Structures are given as structure tokens and as C-alpha cells.
Amino acid sequence: MNAISHTAAVALPIPYASDERGLVPPAAKPRKTGRRRLALGRAIPLGALIGPALLLVIWSLGSVAGLIDPRTLPAPWSVVGTAIDLIAEGKLQDHLMTSAWRAAQGLVFGILIGTVLALISGLSRVGEAIIDGPVQIKRAIPTLALIPLLMLWFGIGEGMKVTAIALAVLIPIYIQTHSSLRSIDSRYVELAQTLRMGYGEFIREVILPGALPGFFLGLRLAVTYAWLSLVVVEQVNATSGIGYMIDLARNYGQTDIVIVGLVVYALLGLGCDGIVRFFQERSLSWRRTLAD
């Protein structure tokens, strides 16, 4: 009896405890089941400028080392000097305003037409049968190939140039918006039916928000297409514009002016794309993506 009492008085080693039923192992600690969220990490401040800055450094080093022939590609400081001279003479501003106005007109008309066509085709099988085929045909035909035909229809004035830009712009707007309209999850349609939404409310609350990601992607491509088309049309019977300035400089072998024009196009393209991305992030803040 004493031996039993002595044994019971001895403290039991951890991790075991005892009760009237005997030795009981401790409760297992709950394992953490939280999953690590995979993402790309935080955005790099001014990350879009790293690539162009690296190209500028390589260009400068090549010019200093004499690896780049200045007749083929002038040094960056020579191009900057030429740009300053053009600005002082007022030529660059005049050409820039003309080009910006042409691009803006073509962009607005192309966005409006492309969006309307995408809505008609995306929301109606009959509309798709009528519209999608001609749009796909235009998609396969380069804008440059249409220039002779547009010149016969609209002459060589501003109408031809703006029409060519609009035709190039409407393609990405239509393709991306139409694709987004047709890829909306059917569960949202079922939810709208459960909530007994009217057709107008369904379009406004489900269809249009669901198509916004595709529309903004198409808009980013459309801005690029607008400037690419502008380069083409301004070298065809034009008397002003950045493209005209580049073509005139090519005839006289003024490589530095050509580079200035290309840099202007690049800055305009990057600036417009940044503006579209800004509105895209604000309008689609409800979406969570890999970059978030």
C-alpha cells in the first residue's frame, strides 16, 4: 500500500498527465493550415522606366566608345540638341499638335464604332452573324494595304487619315470586348435569373462590368495601333505632322531629326498607355489578380 502511494506521489514526466483513467497523452497542437498566397510581389517603383533607361545607357556608352557610327545613329546628346532647336523654332510643337489631333479623332471614332459593334455582336447571335465576319476580314488586311482605296474614296485630305486610324483602332476594341462579353461566367447569368433581374438591369449590372477587363485591354492595344497607323498615314501626301517631319528628314539624311520623331512617338505611346492603365486600375479595383 505504501509503495503504491509512493508511486502515485511521483510527478509524471511531461508530456503525459494522469487522471482516474490512467496516463493520457496531451492534446495535439493544431497544425497551421493557412496556405501561402502566391504573387509576383510588390510593384517596382517606376519599373516601366528601367528598360528604356538601360537602352539609353547602352546607347550612350556605345557612342562614347565610338562603337556606334554617328551617321547611322547620332549620340543621345546630339538628338537632345536637335530637339531643343526644333522646339525653339516652334516646328516640333506644330507637328505634334497636328499629329495629336489626327490620332485623337481616329481613336475616338474607332473606340465608339468598335464598342458598338462588339455590343451588338456579343449580345445577339444575329448581330454576330452579320458583324463578326467583316470585322475578321478587316483584321486580316493591313491598314497600309487600304491606303490606296481610302485615297480613292476620301481623297488625300484629313478624312482619309482619320478613317485609316479609326479602322485600325476598332479591331482590338471589338475583338477584346466581344471576347469578354462571350466569356462571362454562366453562374452570374443564373444568379441574375434567381434575382429576377430585368434585361436592362442585367446588361448594366452584369454584362458591362464583366466586359470591362477586355475593353481596357483592347483600349491599350488601340492606343498603340492609333500611333502606328499615324506613322503610316502621315507619310502619304501629308504636309504636317510628326510622320511628315520624319519622312522629310529621311529625304535629306537628317538622322537626328528622324530619331527625335521616333522618340516623340515612343513618349506619346507610353504616356497614353499609362493613362489607360491608370483608369483601368481605378475602374477594376474590385478584381484581385496575380499582380495584386
Give the three-class secondary structure for 19. strand
User: CB-hemisphere CA count at 13 Å for 201?
Assistant: 7
Q: pLDDT confidence of 4, banded at 50, 70, 90?
A: very low
How far apart CA 66 and CA 90 sit, in angstroms, is 32
Residue that wins the pLDDT comparison between 8 and 252: 252
> How far is 261 from 83, CA to CA, in rounded Å?
9
Residue 90 belongs to a domain: yes
At residue 186, does pLDDT exceed 90? no
Tell whether the model's pLDDT for residue 207 goes beyond 90. no
Structural domain contains residue 26: no
CB crowding 196-217: b at 16 or more within 10 Å, else e: ebeeeebeeebbeeebbbbbbb
C-alpha cell at 208: 458591362
pLDDT of residue 85: 92
| Pick from 257, 226, 290: nearest CA to 37 | 290
The better pLDDT of the pair 123, 89 is held by 89
Check: CB of residue 266 under 8 Å from CB of residue 227: no
Decide if pLDDT at 108 tops 50: yes
Residue type, 48: A
pTM listed for this prediction:
0.73
The mean pLDDT value for 106-113 works out to 94
Residue scoring higher pLDDT (202 or 241): 241
CA 226 – CA 229 distance, rounded (Å): 5
The domain in which residue 75 lies consists of 71-280
Give CA–CA dist 88/259, Å, rounded: 18
The answer to whether position 265 is within a domain reads: yes
Is the backbone peptide bond immediately before 15 cis, with ω within 30 degrees of 0? yes
The predicted-structure confidence for 25-49, as pLDDT tens digits, reads as follows: 555 555 555 555 555 556 666 666 7
Phi-psi region of 287 (alpha: psi -120 to 50; beta: other; left: phi over 0): beta
Q: What is the mean pLDDT of residues 208-233?
A: 87
Find all residues with CB under 8 Å of 283, minimum gap 6, and list them: 212, 216
| Angle subtended by helix axes 255-283 and 76-89, to nearest 10 | 90
* Cβ-Cβ contacts under 8 Å for 81 (sequence gap 6 or more): none
Q: How many domains does the chain have?
A: 1
**Distances in whole angstroms, Cα of residue 121 to Cα of each of 100, 172, 182:** 31, 14, 10
| Mean pLDDT, all residues of the chain | 80
Q: Does residue 155 or residue 257 have the better pLDDT?
A: 257
Residue 201: CATH number of its domain: 1.10.3720.10
**Looking at the domain assignment, is residue 22 inside a domain?**
no
Higher pLDDT, 199 or 105: 105
114 in any annotated domain: yes
Integer Cα distance of 233 and 151 in angstroms: 10
- Residue 47, domain member (yes or no): no
Give bridge partners of residue 19 from the DSSP assignment: 22
Per-residue pLDDT of 147-156, as tens digits, reads 888 888 888 8
Residue with cell 566608345: 65
pLDDT at position 195, please? 74
Q: Is 31 part of a structural domain of the chain?
A: no
Helices and strands, counts by H and E, the chain: 12, 2
Note whether residue 204 is domain-resident.
yes
- Cα dihedral sign for 162, 166, 167, 169? positive
